[in-house]
Amino acid sequence: MICLTLMESSIELNLMVVERNRHLIDMAELRLDMLINPLEVDPCTVKLEFQLPLIITYRKKIDGGKYEGTESYRGDILYSYAKCGFDFIDLEIGSVFPEVEETALRKGTRIIRSYHNFKEVPDNLDTIIREISSKSGEIPKAAVYCSSSKEVFKFFKVFEKTKDIKDKIVLGMGEFGFPSRILYKQLGSIISYCSSSGNSGAPGQLTPGDMKNLYRVDEINNSTSVYGIIGNPVMHSHSPQLHNKAYKRAAINAVYLPFLVDDIGYFLNLAAFLNVKGFSVTVPYKVDILNFLGEQSPEIEKIKSCNTVCRKGRVWKGYNTDLDGFLMPLLSKIKTAGLKNGGLKIGSIKKGAVIGAGGAARAVITALQSLNIEITIFNRSESRGAKLAAETGVSFFPLNRIDLLSDFDIIVQTTTVGMVPEVDSTPLPEYKFRKNQIAYDIIYTPLETRFLKNAKSAGSVTIGGMAMLKTQGIRQFEIFTDRQFPSEEQKGSS
């Protein structure tokens, strides 16, 4: 069930949030600790006004809430609500309110007994969950913070250890724990929480719209194929929108989600546990992932960079769709700009500068070389830049030699500089672009980076990373599913 956590300061404001999201949710959690006055409205009237299943929660600050008063007062407020027979009441494992519990049970209210840990995944988490579930009628809830790939793998193994417990709520907080919010049904949880935009109830919560429409969490079942994207950072990625919308149009029972990763080995252990079918690869792992592949496509052998991984039998096979993803928007832009300005055509682009020396830069260099363009790498790290230049047979200069850039017909920005949230940054802050120079930035968040804005103001031809993302993503979809990418007009349901 999708549960909307209500974080507003009054019952009236919370009711407005529910009305905006009623079609997206199954239930709501009323956070009494966020209310200015928990008894501003009679609790029994609250139950009638909301007209959907409600969890009543009065969270202490130590458990991630706002309340800092006495336990006596908190117990009195909870008792006032318990008397009205709400569907659920959430009590922490350290809370002792016999009168509240007795009243709740008498009224048919299910008690959610919750454990919160905002620092780590404890080694005995499965024991904690099992101890809570041993008390008749109580639903164990564990919300713990995952701070690394190692921790999130340990966290997900808890689901296997507690799979015999039918009614439970287990959630990983933070960006590493994000997948547990999407895959909660596959993992055996009965509820996943979300928040209204800009008012999160816990680290990692999504909006109801993303839960219901983008990830379609309530449609996920044991037959749902899992795909994703790994990187660091990765939560900004637009790839889930492209892939999940395509799955829906093509009526494919699949979901695609971001995995924040700081250790590829632990992620692959998690991928095996979740039976992940395939995943995209973004910075900084496009080269490192090569060490974990059992098979490589021909373009990988040439580029030595991988952005797509798909399970083939017992091994992971790597592909690179960045080549076509980069080239097609460039060729299209040149054709369009050439119609307006006869001086711009493929043959007129003789020299190309590539900013950066990572996995994306390798693919860009190979793509530009296929157009017989002479390439020079410009990179902040001289050793890394010189190494890539030697491996790809191109020239290299340190990034401080921006005085040379005016001689190049195309400048391609392949680093993460300028990506959200550092939107005012650019790897070339002092460079003055020239008219008719092509500026290509593979970043797509924001759609127009500072690098592109500076080039545009100088009259350069600009290309953003969204077109590349869509082009390479379409090819990834076809590799993952062995099906043609569905058109925007194609409709389906799964």
Tell me how far apart the alpha carbons of residues 263 and 230 are, in angstroms, rounded to a whole number.
10
Written as tens digits, the pLDDT of the chain (494 aa) is: 999 999 999 999 999 999 999 999 999 999 999 999 999 999 999 999 999 999 999 999 999 999 999 999 999 999 999 999 999 999 999 899 999 999 999 999 999 999 999 999 999 999 999 999 988 789 999 999 999 999 999 999 999 999 999 999 999 999 999 999 999 999 999 999 999 876 666 777 899 999 999 999 999 999 999 999 999 999 999 999 999 999 999 999 999 999 999 999 999 999 999 999 999 999 899 999 999 999 999 999 889 999 999 999 999 999 999 999 999 999 998 888 764 555 566 668 999 999 999 999 999 999 999 999 999 999 999 999 999 999 999 999 999 999 999 999 999 999 999 999 999 999 999 999 998 899 999 999 999 999 999 999 999 999 999 999 999 999 999 999 999 999 875 565 44
Q: Which domains does the chain have, with CATH numbers?
A: 2-221 (3.20.20.70), 223-320 (3.40.50.10860), 324-463 (3.40.50.720)
Q: What's the pLDDT at 201?
A: 67
Q: What's the pLDDT at 85?
A: 96
Q: What's the pLDDT at 494?
A: 41
| Catalytic residue from among 60, 286, 304, 317 | 286
248 is catalytic: no
Taking every pair of Cα atoms in the chain, the longest distance, rounded to a whole number of angstroms, is 83
Q: What's the pLDDT at 338?
A: 63
